[in-house]
Amino acid sequence: MSLDQFLQDLDRDIRDRAEWGAVADYIPELGRIDPAQFGIAVALADGQVLTAGQARTGFSIQSVSKVFALACVLGRIGEQLWLRVGREPSGDRFDSILLLEQEKGRPRNPFINAGALVVTDEMLTGRSPQQALAEVLGFVRAAAGDDAIHIDKAVARSEARTGHRNTALAHYLRSFGNLKAPPDHVLGTYVHQCAIEMSCVQLARAGRVIAGLDCAPTLLSKVKQRRINALMMTCGQYDGSGNFAFRVGMPAKSGVGGGLLVIAPGKASIAIWSPGLDGWGNSQMGTLAAERLAEFTGWSVF
């Protein structure tokens, strides 16, 4: 069976199964989205992009943006970032504050919210929030080769109004001296970065630079690609990362908008979207689709 035929069958199977999970209602704008949706796009090394389902529908990439923010910051300051943030899985929820006190304000990794706030703060060093956002949006547009990618301001406003946990995390980080910019600048930049809207096709194309595909624009060194993939594998789905590695075996990053960027290094960049989430806050049907795709293609790195 061809990969294209497999994707069409997968789309039908996912819709038949219809165990959609629950949308993220702690961001009210995302809570209004119909969970019964599914799309997938697979960008291959030769430049082809295969799709099935709602692959051209825009969605809020949310925490998937943390991969691109990290890529920008590693490009700018490199290894110094690790003085401020670790690279170990936390085993806690993405928005947990628990370890932050025990570990004196140094977040476990750049993908949990506390760590992502530090990365955003680093982007703000010597830059205004507008400039920092232009940098991350510019990176994503260049990676995807698509200038139409934009920020959904209504989603950003919605999270800004209700993001009390992130506000707590930012001030807590600041109390340890691990946030340099004013917390409201960091939070404002962060919610806009998370509110980048992309389709599966756009996200799969942007992920080509992380996958190191032959057709990808050169934006990231091989070493940085390896490091980002290692962090995606160990920390990309938070306290669900072990389960995801067990089922899928590829580096990936999830977002509470239901997006999933999955990397088959050197082979493919895969974007999956289904807005209903599982108990870890990761796309429920998206994870199942990634598992099926890994079985079909043999793209597990193990």
Q: Among residues 49 and 120, whose Cβ is nearest to ligand DON?
A: 120
> Which of 214, 239, 240, 209 lies closest to 226, judged by CA?
209
Taking the complex as a whole, the smallest distance from the CB of residue 148 to ligand DON amounts, in Å, to 22
Taking the complex as a whole, the smallest distance from the CB of residue 235 to ligand DON amounts, in Å, to 11
Residue with tokens 């908008």: 257
On whether 159 is known to bind a ligand per the annotation, the reply is yes
On whether 122 is known to bind a ligand per the annotation, the reply is no
Rounded CA-CA distance 113/11 in Å is 31
> Hey, how many other C-beta atoms are within 10 angstroms of the C-beta on 166?
22
Rounded CA-CA distance 60/64 in Å is 9
Q: Among residues 55 and 195, whose Cβ is nearest to ligand DON?
A: 195
Taking the complex as a whole, the smallest distance from the CB of residue 205 to ligand DON amounts, in Å, to 20
Binding site for ligand DON (CB under 6 A): 62-63, 94-95, 113, 159, 166, 194, 254-256, 281-282
Q: Which helix (H) or strand (E) holds 50?
A: strand 49-53
Taking the complex as a whole, the smallest distance from the CB of residue 217 to ligand DON amounts, in Å, to 26
Which residue's Cβ has the minimum distance to ligand DON?
63
Note if 26 is an active site residue.
no
Q: Among residues 95 and 291, whose Cβ is nearest to ligand DON?
A: 95
Reduce the DSSP state of residue 190 to 3 states and report it.
Answer: helix
Cα-Cα end-to-end distance for the chain: 23
Note if 63 is an active site residue.
yes
Alpha helices in the chain (DSSP H): 3-17, 28-31, 65-77, 98-102, 113-123, 129-144, 153-162, 164-175, 183-194, 200-206, 208-211, 222-235, 241-247, 284-297
> Hey, how many other C-beta atoms are within 10 angstroms of the C-beta on 275?
28
Q: 49, 65, 172, 238: which one is catalytic?
A: 238
On whether 166 is known to bind a ligand per the annotation, the reply is yes
Note if 172 is an active site residue.
no
Q: Among residues 192 and 267, whose Cβ is nearest to ligand DON?
A: 192
Taking the complex as a whole, the smallest distance from the CB of residue 295 to ligand DON amounts, in Å, to 23
Q: Among residues 84 and 253, whose Cβ is nearest to ligand DON?
A: 253
On whether 282 is known to bind a ligand per the annotation, the reply is no
Pairing of strands 196-198, 252-254: unpaired
Indicate the annotated binding residues for substrate: 63, 113, 159, 166, 190, 238, 256
Indicate the annotated binding residues: 63, 113, 159, 166, 190, 238, 256
Active site residues: 63, 66, 190, 238, 256
